[in-house]
């Protein structure tokens, strides 16, 4: 049996089920939203997806730790949001009964739901097994009806071993034209699940497939020259500097406009060859990137044949707790482009000092 086969299966089904919940929440406009202490939004979808995924992990791997983005403290007193999360959970089931069973079935009651959400409080670290979970990455994209991703990765002794991304608003077709705009995907079936196991390649498949047994291998593309490359970057200018990115593109002779997209959908997109370069350039020197914003995507791009470093050219270090405190930013590109892109990144950033 391939390594981590059960982990990959459980992670894929758990992400599929959680993605379904987020889509329901969006379509039923159950959009109760709060602001967290850092002023970022959190929705019924974030809490519900975190509860469902953690319940599935705890059923299958009871000894594993979980580093999840959300915590349940604000749900303890807010009965309105809490009951909306509970209703979303109760009405979300996979259509395959056997898959539901593999995940351990639904959550029993509101107390169990709160306990599941709270179980994402692990501090991670360099030893043993833990899961890094972002129930909705790109919550701002989710609220806008744009791109977002449900992200889950297994980290063992500091190495990312399994990564899964559920991207409900990206086209299923790996060859579809690269755009963040959902209306451009008109005529394309949407909803894709990206996955990778370290040393065993990366895949994509339709999120709507009942049993998730049709993965296809994906590969990064190498454009004929740097000037033909397509960049992607965050929609939010305070997550990644659009100005620095434009200066780097200019230096490399790239004339195509960048594709702006929320969430780890950017990692999935370049891994399937829809786009060639992903840059995340620090805006604030004090911000520490969160491990759940990168773990799944970093493995998927690496397994699709890409190179991912920080802006200094260092590998991302997932042993440092809940954040990537030893790294700044992201430079992800096809193998033949990465060295030139990194050089341009450093020249542009150094010139600003």
- Give the annotated binding-site residues for Mg(2+): 69, 134, 136-137, 293
239 binds, among ligand A3P, Mg ion, none (CB under 5 to 8 A by kind): ligand A3P
Q: How far is the CB of 268 from ligand A3P (least distance, A)?
A: 12
Q: How far apart are CA 69 and CA 47, in angstroms?
A: 10
Cβ proximity to ligand A3P, 9 vs 280, nearer residue: 280
User: CA angle at residue 8 from 112 to 185, to 5 degrees?
Assistant: 95
Residue number, 262 or 303, with CB nearest to Mg ion:
262
Residue of 97, 159, 211, 238 that binds ligand A3P (CB under 6 A) = 238
What is the helix (H) or strand (E) element at residue 46, kind and residue range? Answer: helix 44-60
87 φ, ψ to 5°? -60, -40
Rounded to 5°, the CA angle 106-112-118 comes to: 115
Q: Is 290 in the site for ligand A3P (CB under 6 A)?
A: yes
Nearest CB to ligand A3P, comparing residues 50 and 60: 50
By CB under 6 A, the residues from 168 to 227 that bind ligand A3P are none
In the bound state with Mg ion, the residue whose beta carbon lies nearer, of 193 and 295, is 295
Cβ 43 vs Cβ 33: under 8 Å: yes
137 near Mg ion, rule: CB under 5 A: yes
Is 41 or 201 the residue whose CB approaches ligand A3P more closely?
A: 41
Burial class (CB in 10 A: 0-12, 13-18, 19+), 277: buried
- Which of the following is catalytic: 46, 244, 262, 310? 46
Parallel, antiparallel, or unpaired: how do β-strands 259-260 and 231-233 relate? Answer: parallel
Residue 40 binding ligand A3P, by CB under 6 A: yes
Residues numbered 68-97 forming contacts with ligand A3P, rule: CB under 6 A? 69
What is the smallest separation between the CB atom of 149 and ligand A3P, expressed in angstroms?
9
Exactly one of 19, 43, 139, 309 is catalytic; name it: 139
- Rounded to 10 degrees, the C-alpha dihedral 87/89/94/100 comes to -130
Q: Give the CA count within 13 Å in the CB-facing half-sphere of 271.
A: 30
Closest contact distance (angstroms) between CB of 51 and ligand A3P is: 16
309, 331 Cβ separation under 8 angstroms: yes
Among 102, 13, 107, which Cα is nearest to 52's? 107
Question: Would you tell me how many other CB atoms lie within 10 Å of the CB of residue 209?
Answer: 15
Residue 340 falls in the annotated catalytic set: no
Strands 129-137 and 65-68 turn out to be: parallel
Q: Point out which span in 77-85, 208-216, 233-241, 242-250 binds ligand A3P (CB under 6 A).
A: 233-241
CB under 5 to 8 A by kind: which of ligand A3P, Mg ion, none does 173 bind?
Answer: none
Q: Which of 217, 228, 137, 216 is nearest to 178 (CA)?
A: 228
Q: In whole angstroms, how close is the CB of 104 to ligand A3P at the nearest point?
A: 25
Which residue's C-beta sits nearest to ligand A3P? 234
> Using CB under 6 A, which of the segments 14-22, 114-122, 230-238, 331-339 binds ligand A3P?
230-238
C-beta of residue 316 within 8 angstroms of C-beta of residue 327: yes
Residue 19 is among the residues annotated as catalytic for this protein: no
The one-character DSSP state at 257 is P
Enumerate residues 6+ apart whose C-beta is below 8 A from 302.
196, 308
- With CB cut-offs between 5 and 8 Å by kind, which of Mg ion, ligand A3P, none does residue 287 bind? ligand A3P
Judged by CB under 5 A, the residue of 46, 262, 289, 293 near Mg ion is 293
* Binding of residue 134 to ligand A3P (CB under 6 A): yes
Point out the residues that are catalytic. 46, 139
Which residues would be at the binding site for ligand A3P (CB under 6 A)? 40, 69, 134, 137-139, 234, 236, 238-239, 262-263, 283-284, 287, 290, 293
Which residues would be at the binding site for Mg ion (CB under 5 A)? 134, 137, 293
């Amino acid at each position: 049996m391939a390594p981590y086969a059960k982990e990959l299966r459980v992670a894929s089904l758990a992400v599929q089920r959680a993605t379904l919940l987020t889509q329901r929440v969006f379509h039923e406009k159950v959009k109760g939203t709060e602001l967290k202490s850092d002023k970022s939004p959190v929705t019924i979808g974030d809490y519900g997806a975190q509860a469902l995924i953690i319940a599935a992990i705890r059923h299958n791997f009871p000894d594993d730790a979980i580093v999840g983005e959300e915590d349940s403290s604000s749900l303890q007193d807010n009965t309105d949001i809490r009951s909306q999360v509970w209703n979303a959970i109760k009405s979300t089931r996979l259509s395959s009964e056997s898959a539901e069973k593999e995940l351990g079935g639904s959550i029993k009651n509101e107390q169990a739901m709160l306990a599941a959400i709270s179980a994402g409080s692990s501090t991670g670290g360099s030893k043993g097994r833990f899961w890094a979970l972002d129930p909705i990455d790109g919550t701002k994209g989710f609220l806008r009806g744009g791109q977002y991703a449900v992200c889950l990765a297994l980290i063992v002794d500091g190495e990312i071993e399994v990564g899964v991304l559920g991207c409900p608003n990206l086209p299923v077709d790996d060859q579809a034209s690269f755009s963040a705009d959902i209306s451009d995907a008109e005529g394309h079936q949407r909803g894709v699940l990206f996955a990778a196991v370290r040393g065993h390649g990366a895949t994509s498949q339709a999120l709507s497939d009942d049993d998730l047994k049709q993965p296809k291998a994906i590969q990064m593309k190498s454009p004929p020259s740097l000037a033909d490359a397509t960049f992607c970057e965050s929609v939010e200018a305070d997550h990644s500097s659009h100005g620095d990115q434009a200066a780097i593109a200019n230096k490399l002779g790239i004339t195509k406009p960048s594709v702006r997209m929320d969430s780890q959908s950017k990692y999935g997109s370049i891994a399937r060859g829809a786009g060639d370069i992903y840059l995340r350039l620090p805006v604030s020197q004090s911000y520490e990137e969160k491990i759940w914003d990168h773990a799944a995507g970093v493995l998927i791009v690496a397994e699709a044949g890409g190179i991912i470093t920080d802006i200094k050219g260092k590998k991302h270090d997932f042993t440092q707790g809940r954040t990537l405190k030893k790294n700044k930013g992201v430079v992800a590109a096809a193998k033949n482009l990465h060295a030139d892109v990194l050089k341009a990144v450093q020249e542009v950033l150094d010139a600003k000092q």
